[in-house]
Amino acid sequence: MYNALKSTECIYLFLTDSKNAWLEPKFPTECFFMAIQVHHLAVLPACRRHLRRQRAHRDLTRMIEHLESHESEWIETPMASRNKGLLKKWREQIKKLENGKACSEVGLLDEELLRGCLKFFGFMARWIMKLVDSSKKGLSVPLPEKISMEVASLPDYLVSDVAEFLLFVNMYAYAVLEDPVMSDIVTFLVVFVCSPNYISNPYLVAKIVEVLFVMNPHIQPVASKIHEMILSHPLAMGNLAPALMNFYTGTFS
């Protein structure tokens, strides 16, 4: 998004157009956009912290194992005192990380919570697709070159949050993705991969492509159902392969 104009400029032009009038948002509308912010400011940062905690635990464990495996080489040297101090420090850090990991898994990896988040992202994806299909004639890709003000004014993180959440759930709670709402999300992913002109940030397109990649059964063996859903999607057939080729040749050429 943000294709030709910045978000604030799009909103300004849209609201100052004589054909458009400002309407007071209703309560459901306020709840919808507040829910978007909750996921962006709370759920996704919590997922990132969990990933960083896992990565730190893995790195510290590797460092401890390496230092212990070479103990015979430094135990009789002046470095012995320093290395023992490091081992003690790293073990204490690992203990804290494990406590934090346990607390995080109790709340963050609750399947009901993740399933509720997935359903909301599915609803949001369906809403964005309705904005994209402004003519109401049905979606077709690539999308029209002219981007409506409503779509251009949407922030990039509406797309990146969906992709980031899918990557997280695919890694830690794949069973959550076996939900009927995935059909809307698959449409959402295919449409934007096949219409990269609607997203000005190439890294955001790369994140969507990464989601398609990890849904490959060779990467995630239980993802065969979603992988088949992507490949057999009416908009993907005849469009997805050329779009991916354009993405890779455009990125690495």
- pLDDT, residue 218, reads 87
- pLDDT, residue 110, reads 92
Q: For 20-77, how does the pLDDT look when each residue is reduced to its tens digit (9 = 90+)?
A: 566 777 888 899 999 999 999 999 999 999 999 999 999 999 999 999 999 999 998 9
- pLDDT, residue 219, reads 85
**pLDDT per position in the chain (253 positions), as tens?**
544 334 444 444 444 454 556 677 788 889 999 999 999 999 999 999 999 999 999 999 999 999 999 999 999 899 999 999 999 999 999 999 999 989 888 889 999 999 999 999 999 999 999 888 877 777 888 888 888 888 888 888 999 999 999 999 999 998 999 899 999 999 999 999 988 888 878 889 899 999 999 998 888 888 888 999 999 999 898 889 988 988 888 754 4
- pLDDT, residue 1, reads 56
Please give the distance of CA 71 from its chain centroid, rounded to a whole number.
Answer: 42
